[in-house]
Amino acid sequence: MKAGTKAYASRRPDQPTRGHRFAMAVTPVMSAFVLVGVCATPGGSAGLKTVGCAEGGTSAAVHLRCQAPPGVPRADGRAARGSQQAETTAGTVDARSDLQALGRIRSSRVAPGETFRYTITVFNRGPSAARDVVVTDRLPKALSFVSSADGCTADGQKVTCGPLPLLAPLVTASWVILVRLDPAYGGTGSDIANQATVVSATADPVLADNTGPHPGAGLPDGTATAPLADLAITKKPAGTTPVAPGDTFGYLISVANHGPSTAETVAVTDRLPAMLSFVSSPGGCTGPTDSFGATVTCPTVDSLGPADSKTYPVTVRLDPAYDGDGSDVVNRATVSSATADPVQGNNTATVTGLPNPDSAVHPAAPSADLSIAAADAAAVQPGGRTTALFTVANHGPSTRRKPATVTITMPEHITVPGSGLPPGCAASDGGRQLQCVLDPGALSVSFPVLVSPSAPPDSTLRGGSAVVRSPEDGNSANDSATWAISTLAGSADLETTKRAVLPAGRTAVAPGDVFTYRVTATNHGPSDARAVRITDPLPGPLALVSSTAGCTSTGRTVTCRPAGDLAAGETVRFDLTVRLAADFRGTGTDVDNIATAISDTPDPVRDNNSNRSGTTGPDGGPLPVTIPPTPTPTPTPTPTPTPTPTPTPTPSPPKPTAPPTSASAAPSPPYFPDTGELPVTGAELPGWLPTTMAGCLLSGAAGVLLARRLGRPARGRHRAGS
């Protein structure tokens, strides 16, 4: 029989009466099945307990024994002595449970930022009990998890409930989670559909209903109310220092949003009484200065979330002619917002009196403990400019009413310029020292400083100090401070030019001339250039004759180095004396010469490190070169050849002749074993001198070539013909 099926006991002598019955349910636990029996008596009482278990895989034969309470009649009509038992055996049990996830809302309509509850319910349709039941609920973007009394937890938007060890058939389990609607939510609620999903370790024959509800649980009543933001404003003096007429003091205006929704376009105004005037506000509040009884307006906050706050410090001045006791100084600040505010009573804050209402018009001599501190100045390149800032703090107990003097000594390689200093400040000692007089209301001094181009790069320039003095300050222990400025890597813009310097009276150079090239390197800064090198590879037609001190040559390249660093704004010059080749027949472009200056200091502009092509002439153009004309050669007359008389041949004795092969046979050339051809010159014939013949041999003429042989003839079959 399937799990959850009821069965009745068979009639046996030891059974309960017919009116007693029992039911059973089978619950799978891991690989075993637990049998839960229900014994019912005629009086309606019942007991539920586990009565047995059987090992198995997915099914098992189970045995149920039901015991009747004492005193219940037996089936045979006899009185029972003690408890009675009945037994039955169920069929096999299949471990399957059909889980269904449901969800509903437990709350009323909410506004953005408010919380409400979801109840997640899981129902087991059976037939088996489900084990290790886990529910997950991925909340929509507009909702965030707050808490759960039922042990649910959240990881981001994913809420997990369980695991529940066992859920019997036809039984439900519920979890309640508390969520919050986004305080900035501006939708209608139609975009919120929340669904939960249930799984278990027991096989589920119907998975379609494991996620629900459909189409999803939304907001209470289906929509959200208009946003509500309870803004509250407070105002209090910034300190307790007694205030004298003409002194300044501060108020702190704070606005807090008690929710539940985000407040949009939050505005704060402060209506000053007739004896106060606006001085300043680090928080950006504005108002007419030196105008008593004016309204101060603070910057509008576009959005202020629940539990967020905003504080505006405002500095005011008491009228120098004020002669009251402070009780008539009534100051009101008001906050408003574009979001509806459910509580209007806390939108205005009123402050009566001064920081010390008992302050006399002419109090005792004040005591103002002043200290000075240097802010970190921005790192700067050698030769650059930055700003130094010093802050003077008043540690009380009284408001400072008299001027203070600040004396500042510059670190090494640092000076202040002669102009552009703040009012009340004057430089001395060549810009190495600055003295400023600060009015009572002044809390800082800021001034420009110059870093020497020769300052070491990537270092900290130390040795600076600052001292503040005031007749109201009786504590000199904290009146001084030290300060330094850091330098960055240097930056030196080198520019190279090269011009030819011709001999007096000359406008051009000719082949073989000696003239001078003047190479100039200028450092445009801002830093000094370290380890400057100027290289000049001379072209082929030029030869180095001499150079000024600091130049050396390797091959055709000349390298010049100035002595020491090249300071920002300075120029170094080198003269190179060269000779133009005597056989040069080109133009000035052919001897165009490029010199380049570099250094170990980074160069921000590399395009001007070399002189431009075609600018080495005296006027900045190409080098002017004059080539002398080539003389025209005189033609050599061709001599008329003298006829050579033909010698009379000497008769020779007849020699045997070979059979004729043609009409006439040509003489045989000399024989050479290696090529078998005539040599080009006589030098190729051992023992013979080469010779040449001047003149021409006309067609039909004859000539005689005389050759002389040296020494003995070489061995071999060498022959020479005419």
Q: What span, in angstroms and rounded, lies between the C-alpha atoms of 31 and 441? A: 84
Specify the CATH superfamily of domain 231-352. Immunoglobulins (2.60.40.10)
The identity of residue 424, as a single letter, is G
Q: What span, in angstroms and rounded, lies between the C-alpha atoms of 199 and 46? A: 32
Q: What span, in angstroms and rounded, lies between the C-alpha atoms of 50 and 22? A: 13
CA-based R_g, the chain, Å: 57
CB-based contact 151:126 (threshold 8 Å): no
pLDDT at 428 over 90: yes
Q: How much is the pLDDT for 335?
A: 96
CB-based contact 184:262 (threshold 8 Å): yes
Interval 252-258 mean pLDDT: 95
Q: What span, in angstroms and rounded, lies between the C-alpha atoms of 632 and 595? A: 40
Q: What span, in angstroms and rounded, lies between the C-alpha atoms of 324 and 696? A: 139
CB-based contact 378:353 (threshold 8 Å): no
CB-based contact 247:399 (threshold 8 Å): yes
CATH of 492-598, one of 3.30.360.10, 1.10.12.10, 2.60.120.10, 2.60.40.290: 2.60.40.290
User: CB atoms < 10 A from the CB of 244, how many?
Assistant: 21
Q: How much is the pLDDT for 247?
A: 83
Cα–Cα distances (Å) from 216 to 101, 140, 477, 596, in that order, read 11, 10, 71, 78
pLDDT tens per residue, range 118-160: 999 999 998 999 999 999 999 999 999 999 999 999 999 999 9
In this structure, CATH architecture of domain 99-222: Sandwich (2.60)
Q: What span, in angstroms and rounded, lies between the C-alpha atoms of 72 and 44? A: 12
Is the domain 370-487 a CATH 3.30.465.10 member? no
Q: How much is the pLDDT for 377?
A: 86
The identity of residue 719, as a single letter, is R
HSE-CB for 393 with a 13 A CA cutoff: 9
Residue (of 460, 273, 314, 316) closest to 380 by Cα position: 460
Q: Which two tokens stand for residue 167?
A: 């859920």
Q: How much is the pLDDT for 215?
A: 87
Cis status, amide bond into 526, omega within 30 of 0: yes
Q: What span, in angstroms and rounded, lies between the C-alpha atoms of 248 and 237? A: 11
Residue 232 — very low, low, confident or very high, per pLDDT cuts 50/70/90?
A: very high
Q: In this predicted model, which residue has the larger pLDDT, 217 or 86?
A: 217
User: CB atoms < 10 A from the CB of 500, how many?
Assistant: 21
Interval 452-472 mean pLDDT: 91
Q: Which two tokens stand for residue 202?
A: 């027991």
CB-based contact 189:151 (threshold 8 Å): no
Residue 98 — very low, low, confident or very high, per pLDDT cuts 50/70/90?
A: low
The DSSP result for 619-663, as a single string, is TSSSPPB-PPPPPPPPPPPPPPPPPPPPPPPPP------PPP-SS
- The dihedrals phi and psi of 429, each to the nearest 5 degrees, come to 55, 45
**Start-end of CATH 2.60.40.1510 domains in the chain:** 370-487
Q: How much is the pLDDT for 22?
A: 37
Q: What span, in angstroms and rounded, lies between the C-alpha atoms of 40 and 67? A: 10
Opening angle at CA 213, ends 210 and 214, nearest 5: 105
Residue 652 — very low, low, confident or very high, per pLDDT cuts 50/70/90?
A: low
pLDDT tens per residue, range 334-365: 999 999 999 999 999 998 888 875 544 333 35
pLDDT at 87 over 50: no
CB-based contact 343:237 (threshold 8 Å): no
Residue (of 286, 367, 354, 295) closest to 322 by Cα position: 354
Interval 93-105 mean pLDDT: 57
Q: What span, in angstroms and rounded, lies between the C-alpha atoms of 254 and 238? A: 11
Residue (of 463, 471, 465, 476) closest to 437 by Cα position: 471
pTM of the entire structure? 0.39
CB-based contact 151:88 (threshold 8 Å): no
Residue 495 — very low, low, confident or very high, per pLDDT cuts 50/70/90?
A: very high
Three-class SS state of 222? helix
Residue 253 — very low, low, confident or very high, per pLDDT cuts 50/70/90?
A: very high
**Start-end of CATH 2.60.40.290 domains in the chain:** 99-222, 492-598
Q: Which two tokens stand for residue 339?
A: 């979001």
Q: Which two tokens stand for residue 419?
A: 């102009």
Strands 158-167 and 32-40: unpaired
Helix, strand, coil in percent for the chain, rounding step 5: 0, 45, 55
Pick the range with the lowest mean pLDDT from 162-171, 259-268, 702-711: 702-711
